[in-house]
Chain A
Amino acid sequence: DTGVSQDPRHKITKRGQNVTFRCDPISEHNRLYWYRQTLGQGPEFLTYFQNEAQLEKSRLLSDRFSAERPKGSFSTLEIQRTEQGDSAMYLCASSFGGTAGNTIYFGEGSWLTVV
């Protein structure tokens, strides 16, 4: 078990371009979360999946953001028409089951810089 992996780790893109991040959770983890973290702030919840179903989306997730988890395994987060305000680290996390005390494991994050 190699933990939660995210790809790419760093992405620099021009404003207006689309970017996609991939997350591979720990195998057999049925819950997958996306968070956004800007410098000096704590992670902010974006969305989460239970298996392939997207069960909640934050209001932070504008229409330009879309997340999928097509087979209940890996997930992608796409940002269309990127803006400078999208520059942040995008964290993926996973857990097994929905019990609140279960450990949520985080990946190392994908840094996005929009220039």
Chain B
Amino acid sequence: AQTVTQSQPEMSVQEAETVTLSCTYDTSESDYYLFWYKQPPSRQMILVIRQEAYKQQNATENRFSVNFQKAAKSFSLKISDSQLGDAAMYFCAYRSAEAGTASKLTFGTGTRLQVML
């Protein structure tokens, strides 16, 4: 079974600064996707960024980028120019792309990000 580990329960960053959230995962599969989801307080979870395992190029979405190290099974999220609206729980998630799998998301335990003025 796949597992996702987020070792930072909480992180804080100054507004306009850069912060990196860590995620490691364990799998024996070769075809999968990795995601970062953001869950603001009392709001629904929204997708921040996704990475396909077969793509070597790190994904980027505006101020959000990832550092995907497939051999190390590491998938960190970098948030540049942090804004107050970035304050939320961030979840790293894994989804198998192997044929015949359920294609469900497996989540880590989350990292709470605080953004300081």
Contacts and interface: CB of A to CB of B under 8 A. Distances in A.
B109 interface: yes
A109 B46 CA distance: 13
A108 B102 CA distance: 23
B112 to A, nearest CB: 9
Interface in A35-58: 35, 40-45, 48, 55-56
Chain A interface helix/strand/loop/mixed: loop
B108 A42 contact: yes
Interface residues of B, number: 30
Interface string A14-52: 000000000000000001010100001111110010000
Contacts of A105: 47
A42 B91 contact: yes
Contacts, number: 62
Contact of A43 (B50, B91, B96): B91
A45 B106 contact: yes
Contacts of B109: 40-42
B84 to A, nearest CB: 21
B91 A108 contact: no
Interface of A: 3-4, 31, 33, 35, 40-45, 48, 55-56, 91, 98-101, 103-109
Interface of B: 4, 6, 9, 31-33, 37, 42-47, 50, 52, 91, 93, 95-97, 101-110
